[in-house]
Amino acid sequence: MKVFRDTQNSQDRTNREGLKGWLNPTHYGWERLSYWLMRLTGLFLLVYFVGHVYETSNLVGGVNAWNSMLELTQTTWGHIFLILVIGTSTFHSINGIRLIFAETARGLGKPGRPDYPYEAVSLNNIQRSGIWVALILAAAAMLYGSSILFGGE
């Protein structure tokens, strides 16, 4: 046990690229891009959520406070920001469902003997199609959001 802990501790302190490695979406294929987008959209949505909780607290200040806050958000840039929120939340949701399937080993394929060219069965078309579906639905949701926000309703 002691040997295991020492080995793990030494691994903890080396072999890490930190933020630079985390921000690099290249060299690892679509799964890496999906990993990268999942984290970026998650961070963006967390910042938006905290801002939204603060924004809605203006209700406590009465109708004038609420309306002056709305004036800040009901602009072209405010709408573009909201469309980004719609797109990122759709991607994060659909890709999250894909990850829940992956975590519960659904759609990963059966394990087999590792033969040349050593392609992992878990990185298959079923998993990749989930990434594409998430991206396509995010684009569709953004288009629908644009039609509502810029449609003048």
The contact set with other proteins (CB under 8 A) reads 5, 8-9, 12-13, 16, 18-19, 22, 39, 42-43, 45-46, 49-50, 53-54, 56-57, 59-60, 63, 66-67, 70, 74, 89, 93, 96-97, 100, 103, 148-149, 153
Closest separation in Å from C-beta 29 to other proteins: 19
For residue 79, the minimal CB distance to other proteins (Å) is 10
Provide the minimum distance between the beta carbon of 99 and other proteins in the complex, in angstroms, as a whole number: 8
Token pair 């990963």 is at which residue? 108
Query: CB-wise, 18 or 112, nearer to other proteins?
Result: 18
DSSP labels for 20-50? Answer: HHHH---SS-HHHHHHHHHHHHHHHHHHHHH
Cβ proximity to other proteins, 30 vs 49, nearer residue: 49
Among the residues of the chain, which ranges form H helices? 2-13, 19-23, 30-56, 63-73, 76-103, 125-149
CA distance 106 to 122: 10
Toward other proteins, which CB reaches closer, 4 or 118?
Answer: 4
Least separation, in Å, of the C-beta of 56 and other proteins?
Answer: 6
Evaluate the CA torsion angle 100, 102, 105, 109 in order and state its sign. Answer: positive
146 HSE (CA, 13 A, CB side): 9
